[in-house]
């Protein structure tokens, strides 16, 4: 019995310590399927998602936004409890060689109490170890508890700094591509004088942003559960909009930002593929076409009026379909798993941008940015 307890405690310590190392310290993707953190997130996210599924949209988004921060705290608590129980099992394997001043019989709960006070470095002194091995175990656990606290203190700021950096570009996209963002609106708003140069700079910024997103979210997958401030924005919708825009530019006959579009497209697609692998979201063919032929024709007509010429020959349509097939099979399963809406190619109706709304009224009377020299239409698409 004692040998089994000691082996079980040692195994539990190794599993938790290795899992915490891979999650908080190791700066690379872990391909191994069996991981305590992965089991924790899959075992909690799916029930959480199912519970809030029937709520109204705004309340559903609010409750889904709670999951990322709460899951992080609960995972840290799970590790701490596991380490405490692991050391308690080690004490039990040594024969519970501890002194209790109240004279009560020593039980496993006493071992857990000693382990807990040692791990959190309380130093109460009411239960003390006796024997060299027990004292070594207590000192080891105290050092581990102190180190665990130090790693957690350093881990949380990294998570929130990465989240803040991610959200900056998403917020900047609001006035450039609408809320929610769409590729058609992004191109339309960059059709004014100087807009095409700004579009190239924007795609260059998003190439770097995609690389930062991939590196940070592969190292810290919990960031994928962190949702944006507004329910009509998300990192997934924003990145999909950029991919849609690059695909349209690469399939057009105008040589507008084509080279930069190819670079941004490659980086953004790379990010989606690797993140889909993290969540075991294999490629799937979409059940509904986001850009059917009639919508493509409408998009082409409206963009031609704004100065962007999309080729209307079958070869260009085939090229656009091929480009979409490169990334959409990875975008759909990720959006379904994370309960995030995919952006349209064409804005649906006349919606106010987030910067036009306030907490005190539905929207303020501010015009949507219009191309210079163009007539403002009530419905652009």
pLDDT in tens, the chain (381 residues): 788 888 999 999 999 999 999 888 887 777 666 788 889 998 999 999 999 888 888 888 889 999 999 999 999 999 999 999 999 999 888 887 777 776 667 788 888 988 999 899 887 777 888 888 888 999 999 999 999 889 988 888 999 999 999 999 999 998 899 888 999 999 988 887 778 889 999 999 999 999 999 999 998 999 999 999 888 889 999 999 999 999 999 888 777 788 999 999 999 999 999 999 888 777 888 778 898 988 988 888 888 877 777 777 788 888 889 999 999 999 999 999 999 999 999 887 667 777 777 666 554 545 555 544 443 443 445
Task: Kindly state whether residues 269 and 130 are assigned to the same domain.
Answer: no
**8 Å CB contact between 222 and 72:** yes
Instruction: Work out the number of other CB atoms within 10 angstroms of the CB of residue 153.
Output: 9
Task: Kindly state whether residues 131 and 194 are assigned to the same domain.
Answer: no
- Residue 99 pairs in a beta bridge with 128
Residue 68: alpha-carbon gap to chain centroid: 9
Task: Kindly state whether residues 202 and 135 are assigned to the same domain.
Answer: no
Task: Kindly state whether residues 144 and 278 are assigned to the same domain.
Answer: no
Report the relative pairing of strands 98-99 and 128-129 from DSSP bridges. Answer: antiparallel
Structural domain that includes position 99: 2-155
Instruction: Work out the number of other CB atoms within 10 angstroms of the CB of residue 343.
Output: 31
The pTM is what? 0.86
- Phi and psi at 274, nearest 5°, equal -70, -35
In a domain, 346, yes or no: yes
In a domain, 378, yes or no: no
Rounded Cα gap, residues 26 and 189, in angstroms: 42
End-to-end CA, the chain: 74
Rounded Cα gap, residues 234 and 227, in angstroms: 6
Task: Kindly state whether residues 80 and 112 are assigned to the same domain.
Answer: yes
Domain count along the chain: 2
Task: Kindly state whether residues 142 and 270 are assigned to the same domain.
Answer: no
**8 Å CB contact between 353 and 368:** yes
Q: Which residues contact 376 (CB under 8 A, 6 or more apart)?
A: 367, 368, 370
């Amino acid at each position: 019995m004692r040998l089994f307890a000691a082996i079980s405690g040692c195994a539990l310590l190794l599993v938790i310590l290795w899992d915490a190392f891979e999650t908080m310290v190791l700066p690379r993707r872990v391909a191994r399927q069996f991981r305590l953190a992965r089991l924790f997130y899959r075992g909690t996210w799916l029930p959480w998602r199912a519970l809030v599924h029937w709520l109204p949209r705004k309340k559903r988004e609010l409750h889904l936004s709670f999951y990322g921060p709460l899951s992080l705290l609960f995972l840290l608590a799970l590790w701490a409890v596991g380490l405490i129980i692991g050391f308690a099992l080690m004490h039990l394997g040594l024969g519970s060689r501890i002194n209790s001043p109240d004279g009560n019989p020593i039980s496993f709960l006493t071992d857990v109490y000693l382990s807990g006070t040692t791990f959190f470095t309380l130093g109460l002194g009411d239960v003390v170890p006796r024997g060299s091995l027990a004292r070594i175990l207590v000192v080891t656990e105290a050092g581990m508890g102190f180190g665990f606290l130090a790693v957690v203190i350093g881990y949380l700021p990294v998570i929130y700094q990465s989240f803040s950096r991610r959200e900056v570009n998403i917020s900047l996209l609001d006035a450039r591509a609408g809320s929610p963002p769409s590729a058609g609106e992004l191109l339309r708003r960059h059709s004014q004088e100087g807009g095409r140069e700004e579009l190239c700079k924007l795609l260059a910024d998003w190439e770097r942003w995609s690389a930062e997103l991939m590196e940070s979210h592969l190292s810290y997958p919990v960031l994928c559960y962190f949702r944006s401030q507004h329910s009509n924005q998300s990192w997934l919708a924003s990145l999909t909009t950029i991919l849609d825009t690059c695909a349209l530019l690469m399939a057009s006959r105008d040589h507008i930002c084509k080279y930069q579009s190819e670079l941004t497209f490659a980086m953004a697609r790379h990010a989606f593929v690797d993140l889909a692998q993290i969540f075991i979201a294999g490629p799937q063919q979409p059940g509904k076409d986001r850009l059917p032929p009639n919508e493509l024709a409408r998009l082409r007509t409206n963009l031609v009026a704004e100065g962007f010429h999309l080729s209307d020959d079958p070869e260009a349509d085939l090229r656009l379909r091929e480009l979409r097939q490169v990334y959409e099979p990875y975008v759909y399963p990720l959006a379904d798993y994370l309960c995030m809406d995919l952006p349209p190619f064409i804005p649906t109706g006349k919606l106010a941008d987030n910067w036009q709304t306030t907490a005190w009224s539905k929207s303020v009377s501010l015009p949507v940015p219009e191309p210079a020299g163009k007539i403002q239409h009530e419905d652009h698409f």
